[in-house]
């Protein structure tokens, strides 16, 4: 963006600090108007004929643009993981379901892992039962991204927002 004296066109279409269109005026006069209100003359549409310039605080504008781009970059979809055991009790399971619901409402994907230890491996149906419980509790806001699959001593399943 060209600012103040770096604008070399003979005339510009001017927008004042309030956002009102002033019209097509010589660049020198537009620069004087910007200096009287102690702001900058910024070329916002250089490809237009004549170019569109706006009277604004350029430093504040750059700061807002930087903050906006940082905000966009920080919120990415993440993969959140929750772990349960085959013999996790009802209330504890509901706490995990509520946490998974919060993550999904924020737009994150959630992986539920049922971890088996020792002789629990002989009763894998308990782990499958836990995952089906998650499916029924979250079916209104999430879709199953990956079906339950056994990996070593654990079963994993991933949910994604609808």
Q: Note the pLDDT of residue 6.
A: 85
Q: For domain 79-161, is the CATH number 3.30.110.10?
A: yes
Provide the CATH number for the domain formed by 4-72 in this structure. Answer: 3.10.20.80
Cα separation values, 162 from 38, 52, 96, 136, Å = 50, 42, 19, 14
Q: Where do the structural domains in the chain lie, given as residue ranges?
A: 4-72, 79-161
| Domains 4-72 and 79-161 alike in fold | no
Q: Note the pLDDT of residue 73.
A: 66
pLDDT string in tens for the chain (162-residue length): 788 888 888 999 999 888 888 889 998 998 998 889 999 989 988 888 889 999 999 999 899 989 888 877 666 778 999 999 999 999 999 999 999 999 999 889 999 999 999 999 899 999 999 999 999 999 999 999 999 999 999 999 999 998
CA distance 26 to 13: 9
Q: Note the pLDDT of residue 63.
A: 93
* DSSP secondary structure string for all residues of 28-92: HHHHHHHHHTT-EEEEEETTSSSPEEEEE-HHHHHHHHHHHHHHHHH----EEEEEE-TT--HHH
- Any idea how long the chain is? 162
Answer for the pair 134, 147: CB distance below 8 angstroms, yes or no: no
Strand, coil or helix: 143:
strand
Q: Note the pLDDT of residue 133.
A: 92
């Amino acid at each position: 963006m060209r600012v103040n004296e770096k604008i070399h066109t003979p005339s510009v279409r001017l927008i004042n600090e309030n956002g009102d269109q002033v019209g097509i005026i010589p660049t020198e006069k537009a620069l004087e108007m910007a200096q009287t209100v102690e702001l900058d003359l910024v070329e916002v549409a250089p490809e237009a004929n004549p170019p569109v310039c706006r009277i604004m605080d350029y430093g504040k504008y750059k700061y807002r643009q930087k903050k906006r781009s940082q905000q966009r970059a920080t919120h990415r979809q993440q993969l959140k993981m929750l772990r349960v055991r085959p013999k996790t009790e009802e209330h504890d399971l509901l706490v995990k379901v509520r946490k998974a619901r919060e993550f999904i409402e924020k737009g994150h994907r959630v992986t539920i892992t049922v971890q088996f230890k020792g002789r629990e491996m002989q009763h894998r149906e308990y782990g499958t039962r836990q995952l089906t419980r998650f499916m029924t509790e979250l079916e209104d806001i999430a879709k199953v991204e990956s079906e339950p699959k056994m990996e070593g001593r654990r079963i994993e399943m991933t949910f994604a927002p609808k």
